[in-house]
Amino acid sequence: MSEKLQKILARAGHGSRREMEAWIAAGRVSVDGEIANLGDRIEADAKVRIDGRQVSLKSAEDVICRVLAYHKPEGEICSRKDPEGRPTVFDRLPRTRDSRWVAVGRLDINTSGLLLFTSDGELANRLMHPSNEVEREYAVRTFGEVNDLVVQKLRTGVMLEDGPAQFDQIKAAGGEGINQWWHVALHEGRNREVRRLWEAVEVQVSRLIRVRYGMIELPKTLPRGGWMELPLEQVNYLRQLAGLEPETRSMLGMDKHSVARAKVRSAKVRRAVRKQKTSQGKTTRQ
């Protein structure tokens, strides 16, 4: 049976459905030699090209939904390429065959913490849709006086330039003087919403770390710049949030050899991150 072109491309991991729709609208996608149009439906044997390069098409049965948890450092941007040459969140991810990783949302350049990537563009598209209000939790270090009145305002809501906003949860997490740590949670995904909420009550944010997405927490053992593949149970939790059928297969094996390989990969990630930090430190001293 035929399916919509953007859905097939997203499922195969070429990007989110929103990205695929934009590419089709821009004339970058062709089907059997003809420029595609939004809403086109195609059969499984169609020859599809993006920017002149033929891409693979996969049926739902052929696609294994994979999800990575990545510990984004400050200083990386959430784009595949940057004209200014800055590092991107895609630089350290593992390579995939005939597809690519799609980021589930974004974190700004000065924000660190948990960022999810998936090989299934349809999953990413649904999780990012405004109707799918997944709760996100952040650790925030603030600079400035925060009294009970300020906290109450952030709980009940303040007016931002794009409408009212508030934290679903806010609780103190220690600190000294006017440098305090807080844990805040909200379910919207507006641009820089956490920072803008604090700025609205005249408090500056000096550190911002995402520590949780839904029930997926930033692993305590995952170093900055490191990634790990999520087990099938967590993948299906995200698919359930998105209203998708559960995945039955995983690239993570449960046999002892797979566990050993996973430990070796984890050790390699840590060594690579330490090596990069050492190199950056030497460059700074020079």
Strands 112-118, 204-213: pairing kind = parallel
Q: Which residue in 32, 98, 108, 162 is the catalytic one?
A: 108
SS3 string, 86-110, reads: CCECCCCCCCCCCCCCEEECCCCCC
Q: Give the DSSP letter of residue 247.
A: P
CA angle at 95 for the pair 275 and 279, rounded to the nearest 5°? 15
Contact 48, 30 (CB under 8 A): yes
How far, in Å, are 124, 168, 238, 252, 265 from residue 235 at the CA level?
Answer: 12, 25, 5, 11, 20
Q: Which two tokens stand for residue 51?
A: 């920017």
**How far apart are the C-alpha atoms of 77 and 82, rounded to whole Å?**
8
The rounded Cα 24 to chain-centroid distance in angstroms is 23
Our answer to whether residue 108 is catalytic in this structure is yes
Q: Which residues are catalytic?
A: 108
